[in-house]
Chain A
Amino acid sequence: MSAPVQMKLEGFSGSREQIVRNVAEALAGLYAESPDQAKPSPYMGGRKAALAALEKFSVQGYANTRNKLQGNVSRLSFFIRHGVLGLREVAESVRERFGRSYDAVKFWQELGWRQFWRRVYARLGNRIYEDLEPAKVNLGGHFPEELPEDIQKGKTGLVCMDESVRELVETGYLHNHARMWFASFVIHFRKLGWKTGERFFYRHLLDGDPASNALSWQWVASTFSHRPYIFNRENIQENGGKKWCERCQAKCPFDSTYPELERRLFSL
């Protein structure tokens, strides 16, 4: 057994920028970018930031707006994923401040998903990285190891997808609905399988949790659900607004009814 590396990292001080440089140097070779490209997320880690975000979060309007990109979502997921805030702690904070409202019940249900994923993970371990059930539709069969460049670099020409990638890569966060659209695009519209996209999200999401991430990708694919998740342009405009579509020059692959999309995507 080799001697443990003696490296202690808690002593850095100075501005956030200075600490970023120190940490980037100390962990060089252990992250995807080169050290000179290492940038932090605008979202700060730590319990102080977590408690401030929790205190600021009002659950009012959550149930009816959570699917909208501009809706009232908590953005607590990265703190919850790393145990900086406990599931019960967050749920109780909402109960103390807002009582048992319709919004609170919906929010608690979403917290319940986190425990559900952990539970499945405890049972299955690394089997979460294999199809848990046969796919209910044709997913294609030639899956690359990595996402193609045009998707990873946000250069597909589809503004909705490219902007989602930009936000993910720059901030480490993406609204849940944008995650679902992107996953469905990768799996069903581009037929690239779910594993490449799963790895891409896990690499970038501050709340990247093996179980929640892999099993959500499988949920979209239909290998951990009764049916695949697909979306259309109307869904994007209803929940994301029209700003993306107004800027988009591409021929929209999402501009169809659901029966048409199902025929086109799954009839092969």
Chain B
Amino acid sequence: MKTLVWLHGDSLSERDPAAMKYPEAVRVFVFDRPFLEKAGLSFKRLFFLYECAVEAAHEIRLGETADELREAMRERGVERLAVTESASPRWRECLAALQKEVEVEVVPAVDLVDVPGEYEAKRFTPFWKKFGKEWGA
């Protein structure tokens, strides 16, 4: 099944884990209009993202992320999307919208340390003592 890789602002690299898993897939980044309209970021930030996206993605679009990705899939006759996991609530919202209509594979992000899913991080020092052994904690 043909796959399209969704690159987002937390994983904007050709070495993105979803892109590494599907090296032949087209990579798309979307400037998310609803988010940008609210965020009021400086142009420097958007241009920095643009420079990262130009190297990482085959296509850069502007609009509502889920709509744009569906359109990018339709244009190419692609049926499945792969994306690297993010903690962002807006990312989760887009993911939930997409999952209603298309198959989406969420690829785990590559972390510095392994932390069990149920661990509740509250203060850094105990977190690092417990999980940072590989890195000298």
Contacts and interface: CB of A to CB of B under 8 A. Distances in A.
- Interface residues on chain B, size class: 35 or more
Contacts of A46: 51-52, 54-56
Contacts of B64: 4
B40 A31 contact: yes
Contacts of B58: 10
A32 B132 contact: no
Contacts of B120: 123
A250 interface: no
A83 to B, nearest CB: 4
A112 B60 CA distance: 31
**Per DSSP, are chain A's interface residues mostly helix, strand or loop, or mixed?**
helix
Contacts of B39: 202-203
Contacts of A29: 37
A178 to B, nearest CB: 17
Contacts of A1: 67
Interface string B67-95: 11011000000000000100111001000
Contacts of A203: 39-42, 45
A136 interface: no
Interface of A: 1-2, 4-10, 19-20, 23-24, 26-27, 29-33, 37-41, 43-50, 78, 81-89, 91, 100, 104-105, 108-109, 111-116, 118-123, 125-126, 169, 171-172, 202-206, 208, 210-211
Contacts of B45: 31, 172, 203-206, 208
A114 to B, nearest CB: 8
Nearest to A20: B47
Contact of A125 (B10, B56, B89): B89
Contact of A4 (B46, B71, B87, B111): B71
A43 B127 CA distance: 32
23 contacts: A4-B67, A7-B63, A8-B60, A9-B31, A23-B50, A27-B31, A27-B46, A29-B37, A32-B41, A32-B42, A39-B43, A39-B44, A49-B51, A82-B12, A83-B12, A83-B13, A84-B52, A89-B15, A89-B110, A109-B136, A111-B135, A115-B113, A202-B41
Contacts of A211: 87
Contact of B47 (A40, A109, A123): A40
Nearest to A34: B43
